[in-house]
Amino acid sequence: MKKCFLITGFFLMLFLFSYAFNLKTENQIEIEGLDSTSLKVISFPPCALKPERYTDYGLGFVADAREFYWEEYNGIMRAYVAVYLPSGAVVRKLAASLTDVSSTGDITVYLERQNMKTGQVDEMAQVGTSILPPSGARIVRKDSTIDHAQIKNHVYSYHLVVETWETDPFLIFHGAKIVYELSA
């Protein structure tokens, strides 16, 4: 009986995963060139973000399936999410869906790596709204000029940083994607 439930549960999860994987929505972050079988995509929802400091939890933020934003202001605010890519993969592009309604603030998403021995942090890519006038609409920003593009998990850990200057719900992160290529 227990074995039957396990097998049924496994196939149910497999079905749900395959359905979700093939589901398409109108507001996708479109990535060109994904017809190549060597290119892969990993996505990061807003609910995965974690504030930089424990004290930031007292400031109030929204992190649900649709958006991440700070409800209160305390200077430059950062939230992080770990990035897990296979060793040897080569990062090709960072894309993020953002909303900027602020006339004075900006939102920037960084892909960074940290040397686990020395602690040195290197920026690999960034996208943001600093060069755009506030629009109030979702925009997708992309960066395909990747520094330190090859993943080396034996030396580095990897993460995304969502940084806002000014808060309230005027600077909103809706999600990010990393396009990477597996070595042949």
Per-residue pLDDT, 42: 97
Enumerate domains of the chain plus CATH numbers: 27-181 (2.60.120.260)
Where residue 101 falls (left for φ over 0; alpha for ψ -120 to 50; beta otherwise) is alpha
Residue 103 confidence (pLDDT): 72
What the block records as the tokens of 91 is 């990062």
pLDDT digits (tens, 9 = 90+) for 77-125: 899 999 999 999 999 999 999 998 877 778 899 999 999 999 999 999 9
pTM to 2 decimal places = 0.76
Backbone angles phi, psi at 132, to 5 degrees: -115, 145
Q: Give the angle 16-21-23 at the CA atoms, nearest 5°.
A: 95
Q: What backbone torsions phi and psi does residue 166 show, to the nearest 5 degrees?
A: 95, 150
Pick the residue with more confidence: 38 or 127? 127
Q: Are the beta carbons of 46 and 96 closer than 8 angstroms?
A: no
Burial status of residue 31 (CB atoms within 10 A of its CB: 0-12, 13-18, 19 or more): middle
Q: Which residues of 39-74 are buried (b: 16+ CB within 10 A; e: fewer)?
A: bbeeebbbebbebeeeebeeeebebeeebbbbeeee
- The answer, yes or no, to whether residue 11 has pLDDT greater than 50, is no
